[in-house]
Amino acid sequence: MDHQEILLSLVKTKMPFGKYAGRKLCDLPVSYLEWFNRKGFPEGKLGMQLRTIHEIKINGLEYLLVPLKNGN
């Protein structure tokens, strides 16, 4: 999976479980991502996606996702 595919997956994939089940990963609140950061991210692809969106949000890089959200 290349970088663009990873970013695209963040705007398309929905959280499969928990308090925010059904919400797109890019729309998860930072507080929820911080909780995972403290408790441990899930294994596999979902964990990688959550770690990535966490890094994007805490570093103020959400603007990278705007064109993908808008379908460009």
- Condensed to tens digits (0 to 9), the pLDDT of residues 40-66 reads 999 999 999 999 999 999 999 999 999
Distance CA 58, CA 17 (A): 22
> What pLDDT is attached to residue 70?
85
Average pLDDT, the chain: 94
Residue 35 is predicted with a pLDDT of: 97
Q: Higher pLDDT residue, 72 or 13?
A: 13
Residues of the chain above pLDDT 70, percent: 97
Measured CA to CA, the distance from residue 45 to residue 49 in angstroms comes to 6
- Residues 6 or more apart whose Cβ sits within 8 Å of residue 25: 9, 10, 11, 13, 14, 15, 49, 50, 53
pTM given for the model: 0.92
